[in-house]
Chain A
């Protein structure tokens, strides 16, 4: 078929390609392409260009766009070409539009009509071209326009058309399941198509349908099994064989489907055992495709109802993968192991060395896969080693996407299996320190919650130990430069809450550190806000404990700065701090009880305790509150909801609040706290509050009029906010002052109100997470781990009981299990020790690419070829290498079974571009026809003036060589 390899484009196009090929820099390439775009723009808009010229221009446009430049000016011409009568032109048009346009492009609507017409064509090639475009371009809206025709085409006499129609229908299903849901029975029908290609294509949509709804396809189990059996027995035409395997791609698809259908279904699975076992036996593990099928078998076996014999075969296959020198197979082995340990956890033990080996491997892909496996294998016995490893790796990589993932995995494992508080805190520190900015803020909130709530409900000493070890390590860690913001927030909160709790550290030390933080991270307002609140808490605890509070000078200057801060949040916090310091011990204790962040707060939403006060005000002549619904006529008030107005007006009004004399604040607060003490504790759910700084700002906020704020404007605040806004401002100044006072108070309670709601929310979430985690645990580790994987709050119990559970669960083989477990996991250093010898064993692995590359080097060619021969002979590895070696030989001269000759051929043909004839002579029996082809091509191209540039001397090299 060599004749088709010619180059039919015009000289111009060849020159373009050539010059781009020879461009020495990206800039030069861009310049050439821009020139080309100009030319094309000019030419393409000429109304009388001949069709074949137009076709070439469109192809040149495709080329330009492929190089990453914008060719949108030509899209419309590509669309026009699809209207052409000549299939040749039409085909180019369709190719161009499928490459240019995404399904949401405006021009699609211009093509739909053409597609409709072409789907009805009596030339099946036209129909095929249209169906290709349908798969790429038809979107949800245009599906109905072509759907009837596509369905009709399912019965087309040409199998190529039926196949594409199936794929198109599948695409429609993906885009809009509802539009084709009544047609899914067609897929079942086509499964019985007498063309294997159509049947194979039908497996794609069926796989997807079964993924979504297994139960309604259980009746097909028998059919699938019998198809798979026929395929495995080579009943399909020879044309479907691939590297001596009977239709492996179809086998793989079928195995995937069976895995779904047999999952958790003993009866269905029993039908599959024989055929899957057959495939296990028949698979040629020396070829890549054979291994692909084997891998799929393992996946299937680990998904369906377990069968001991098949599991054994799967385990064998896995150990072959893991022992292979090929990284690809090791990778698949690790992945397969991860699947199989769900069913038979003991299989992991025998592959310890191989796993450690992969973990030490310089190949990132393999390493990550191994971490995934370890993640699945984690128990309380091995958590320390695994998480430490993960963190080390996390520190070493730059890929943020993966860093985030592995960080969250570390956190998850640490929360679930932490052997001790100390370890837990240290681990979390490391994660935050190195990936802090990538960690979800929820993780930080979780950590704060965990420290606040403690692990065990009944064990207070453990909790306080946890807290003091956290404080210890945080005070220590604060010395480090540049900590991530999220981590600092956690540190500040914990120091504020528990910094002085155990009496180990003086208030001045902790506050000093907090001031340092606020100063050092002066452009991070969230951290500063956390720091100020922490300061407030420490001072409050000091006051409540009856000690005299001396504010450090740096703290004082910091406060002064914050009191004048542009951030209203900071300002408010600073004022709150100031106010708290001025109060007496009793008042402070009721606002800021120590270690009360987990207490429930009851909120009197109706603010009934203020009734007396309102009564008083009304008696003194204040206007009564009118609910918003009754005030709809007042324009300016309804506009209050509007962000801008809100900002402007509230700013003016609320400004007064800050100018209040201190005494009034003092005098006002006691009645409020007397009325309902449970309302007051400001710091209660502090972490929630701090994560949404805007909520606390409500009274002071001018710019914080965010949606969050608005959402929380229920009953209470309106009551008071309105009054200050409403015409009632005309009342005497003393009343207005009081109302304003009232407003500040009520704001206080309002915020705590909203806060409590948030705590409720967060509690609810907790409750939701727990069963999820348990489910995950159950699915990862089977029954025995159910008790082991505990929700985050239950560490203590899980830790202590896990051993017993394990043992009691496997009484028959308890000895084995226990011993096996001890060897690898109970002594963390063992993992490292194992690593060393195995690294060495890894050494003689051989890579085909590397060898081919070596062979390409003219200087070392002979030597390395010999080398290669000897290694090949020496290792005789019957794995993937064989495939690489055999493919060239296998395709071009099937009788040539000599691996070595297959090996020596490629370099020779490769050299064609430049060098010697001796090699041609040498080059032998193997690929002579190809050689001729290449020579012809070479001369042809040279005649056209294209020479392989110095940049890329191997353009002529056979890809398959």
Chain B
């Protein structure tokens, strides 16, 4: 099973964290610090896997972002690598050539997508189309409710004032 998902930027900034096993806030900070240090310092030619406290962390770098997933000792690393890629492809489809900024400002959407992909630490859906459909259904509800929310043009107007 997947114990947690981390997205860390190359500067070590946290972009997204999702914990499927119980970790206290203190442990979380420690995990992020430890793993961030270990993964960011790894050379480019090495394996995408790291041994970590008896578990394994599979990571993959996309542009400036590291996607990490922590799994059990007997899980299939290559498969997890592909789950990461699967996630990135879904993000890419949703945001339209996703970049780190998308995830910074819309991290909650990334969470919603992740919730459709993984549940309770297991891969729940492997079809991109199904996930896209579900997210779209949720978003369409959001669209109708959005009148009160400030629209993008408002933001721009404010920003350029």
Contact with B along A361-373 (1 / 0, CB 8 A): 0111110100000
Contact with B along A115-143 (1 / 0, CB 8 A): 00000000001001000100110000000
How many A-B pairs have beta carbons closer than 8 Å: the answer is 290
**CB atoms of B79 and A849 under 8 A apart:** no
Bound-state CA distance A954–B63 (Å) is 8
Chain B: which residue is nearest A953 at the CB level? B64
Please, how many residues of chain B have a CB less than 8 angstroms from a CB on the other chain? 94
CB contacts under 8 Å to A, within B1-32, are 9-11, 13-14, 16-18, 20, 22-25, 28-29, 32
Bound-state CA distance A145–B127 (Å) is 32
Q: How far, in Å, is A942 (CB) from chain B's closest CB?
A: 9
CB contacts under 8 Å to B, within A330-367, are 330-332, 362-366
In the complex with contacts A66-B16, A249-B83, A958-B127 CB distance below 8 A: no
**CB atoms of B97 and A933 under 8 A apart:** yes
Q: How far, in Å, is A204 (CB) from chain B's closest CB?
A: 4
In the complex with contacts A88-B142, A249-B123, A327-B45, A937-B99 CB distance below 8 A: yes
Interface centre among B46, B129, B134 (most CB of A within 10 A): B46
In the complex with contacts A167-B124, A288-B78, A930-B96, A87-B141 CB distance below 8 A: yes
With a cutoff of 8 Å between Cβ atoms, the chain B residues found around residue A951 in the complex are: 11
**CB atoms of B97 and A295 under 8 A apart:** no
Bound-state CA distance A889–B98 (Å) is 15
With a cutoff of 8 Å between Cβ atoms, the chain B residues found around residue A62 in the complex are: 107-108, 111
In the complex with contacts A8-B152, A955-B64, A959-B100, A288-B81 CB distance below 8 A: yes
Chain A: which residue is nearest B125 at the CB level? A197
**CB atoms of B82 and A289 under 8 A apart:** yes
Contact with A along B108-132 (1 / 0, CB 8 A): 1101100100011011111111101
Question: A171 within 8 Å of B by Cβ?
Answer: yes
With a cutoff of 8 Å between Cβ atoms, the chain A residues found around residue B77 in the complex are: 328, 331-332
**CB atoms of B14 and A102 under 8 A apart:** no
With a cutoff of 8 Å between Cβ atoms, the chain A residues found around residue B11 in the complex are: 951-952
**CB atoms of B96 and A957 under 8 A apart:** no
Question: A63 within 8 Å of B by Cβ?
Answer: yes
With a cutoff of 8 Å between Cβ atoms, the chain B residues found around residue A946 in the complex are: 101
**CB atoms of B120 and A168 under 8 A apart:** yes
* CB < 8 Å neighbour of B79 from A128, A160, A196, A292: A292
CB contacts under 8 Å to B, within A1-54, are 1-11, 14, 17, 20-21, 50-52
**CB atoms of B63 and A292 under 8 A apart:** no
Bound-state CA distance A66–B81 (Å) is 23
Bound-state CA distance A847–B43 (Å) is 10
Question: A474 within 8 Å of B by Cβ?
Answer: no
With a cutoff of 8 Å between Cβ atoms, the chain B residues found around residue A160 in the complex are: 130, 134
**CB atoms of B125 and A961 under 8 A apart:** no
**CB atoms of B28 and A68 under 8 A apart:** yes
Selected interface stretch from A91-99, A747-755, A825-833: A91-99
CB contacts under 8 Å to B, within A209-251, are 237, 239-240, 242-243, 247-250
**CB atoms of B141 and A292 under 8 A apart:** no
Chain B: which residue is nearest A296 at the CB level? B76
Chain A: which residue is nearest B45 at the CB level? A847
**CB atoms of A944 and B156 under 8 A apart:** yes
With a cutoff of 8 Å between Cβ atoms, the chain A residues found around residue B53 in the complex are: 401
Interface centre among A136, A243, A959 (most CB of B within 10 A): A959
**CB atoms of B82 and A4 under 8 A apart:** no
**CB atoms of B49 and A365 under 8 A apart:** yes
CB contacts under 8 Å to A, within B138-159, are 138-139, 141-142, 145-146, 148-152, 155-156, 158-159
* CB < 8 Å neighbour of A201 from B48, B88, B124, B159: B124
* CB < 8 Å neighbour of A164 from B62, B79, B124: B124
With a cutoff of 8 Å between Cβ atoms, the chain B residues found around residue A200 in the complex are: 123, 125-126
Question: A941 within 8 Å of B by Cβ?
Answer: yes
Bound-state CA distance A62–B128 (Å) is 26
Chain B: which residue is nearest A931 at the CB level? B97
Please, how many residues of chain A have a CB less than 8 angstroms from a CB on the other chain? 120
**CB atoms of B82 and A11 under 8 A apart:** no
Q: How far, in Å, is A327 (CB) from chain B's closest CB?
A: 4
**CB atoms of A328 and B124 under 8 A apart:** no
Interface centre among A70, A204, A853 (most CB of B within 10 A): A204
Q: How far, in Å, is A746 (CB) from chain B's closest CB?
A: 48
**CB atoms of A70 and B25 under 8 A apart:** yes
Q: How far, in Å, is A867 (CB) from chain B's closest CB?
A: 15
With a cutoff of 8 Å between Cβ atoms, the chain B residues found around residue A331 in the complex are: 47, 49, 77
With a cutoff of 8 Å between Cβ atoms, the chain B residues found around residue A9 in the complex are: 105, 155
With a cutoff of 8 Å between Cβ atoms, the chain A residues found around residue B13 in the complex are: 20-21
**CB atoms of A959 and B92 under 8 A apart:** yes
Question: A104 within 8 Å of B by Cβ?
Answer: yes
Q: How far, in Å, is A81 (CB) from chain B's closest CB?
A: 13
In the complex with contacts A9-B105, A17-B105, A197-B130, A944-B81 CB distance below 8 A: no
Bound-state CA distance A952–B12 (Å) is 11
With a cutoff of 8 Å between Cβ atoms, the chain B residues found around residue A909 in the complex are: 97
**CB atoms of B160 and A943 under 8 A apart:** yes
Bound-state CA distance A566–B146 (Å) is 75
**CB atoms of B155 and A11 under 8 A apart:** yes
In the complex with contacts A242-B86, A249-B126, A959-B91, A927-B81 CB distance below 8 A: no
* CB < 8 Å neighbour of B107 from A66, A87, A332, A849: A66
Chain A: which residue is nearest B95 at the CB level? A5
**CB atoms of A201 and B49 under 8 A apart:** no
**CB atoms of B78 and A891 under 8 A apart:** no
Question: A67 within 8 Å of B by Cβ?
Answer: yes
* CB < 8 Å neighbour of B92 from A845, A847, A853, A960: A960
Bound-state CA distance A67–B81 (Å) is 25
With a cutoff of 8 Å between Cβ atoms, the chain A residues found around residue B86 in the complex are: 242, 249
Chain A: which residue is nearest B152 at the CB level? A6
**CB atoms of B76 and A887 under 8 A apart:** no
With a cutoff of 8 Å between Cβ atoms, the chain A residues found around residue B107 in the complex are: 62-63, 66
Bound-state CA distance A909–B96 (Å) is 13
Bound-state CA distance A62–B24 (Å) is 15
**CB atoms of B78 and A849 under 8 A apart:** no
Contact with B along A876-918 (1 / 0, CB 8 A): 0000000000010001100000000000000001100000000
In the complex with contacts A252-B76, A292-B76, A960-B92, A363-B82 CB distance below 8 A: no
In the complex with contacts A102-B22, A201-B125, A887-B85, A4-B54 CB distance below 8 A: no
* CB < 8 Å neighbour of A252 from B79, B98, B115: B79
With a cutoff of 8 Å between Cβ atoms, the chain A residues found around residue B20 in the complex are: 136
Question: A163 within 8 Å of B by Cβ?
Answer: yes
Interface centre among A171, A256, A366, A958 (most CB of B within 10 A): A958
* CB < 8 Å neighbour of A943 from B22, B105, B127, B156: B156
4 more contacts with CB within 8 A, not counting A95-B115, A160-B130, A957-B99, are A4-B139, A86-B145, A910-B63, A960-B92
**Which of A's residues lie within 8 Å of B, judged by CB?**
1-11, 14, 17, 20-21, 50-52, 59, 62-63, 65-68, 70, 86-88, 91-92, 95, 98-99, 102-104, 125, 128, 132, 135-136, 160, 163-164, 167-168, 170-171, 174, 196-197, 200-201, 204, 237, 239-240, 242-243, 247-250, 252, 256, 288-289, 291-292, 295-296, 299, 327-328, 330-332, 362-366, 368, 401-402, 845, 847, 849-850, 853, 887, 891-892, 909-910, 927, 929-931, 933-934, 937, 940-941, 943-946, 948, 951-952, 954-961
**Which of B's residues lie within 8 Å of A, judged by CB?**
9-11, 13-14, 16-18, 20, 22-25, 28-29, 32, 43-51, 53-54, 61-65, 76-79, 81-83, 85-86, 88-89, 91-102, 104-109, 111-112, 115, 119-120, 122-130, 132, 134, 137-139, 141-142, 145-146, 148-152, 155-156, 158-160
A sample of 30 cross-chain residue pairs with beta-carbon separation below 8 angstroms, ordered by A number, consists of A1-B93, A1-B95, A3-B96, A4-B95, A8-B149, A10-B155, A65-B25, A98-B115, A160-B130, A170-B122, A200-B123, A201-B119, A201-B125, A240-B127, A248-B79, A249-B82, A288-B81, A289-B78, A365-B47, A845-B45, A849-B45, A891-B92, A931-B97, A934-B97, A948-B101, A952-B9, A954-B63, A957-B64, A958-B92, A960-B89
Q: Which 4 A-B pairs have the closest CB atoms?
A: A2-B96, A292-B78, A930-B97, A959-B62
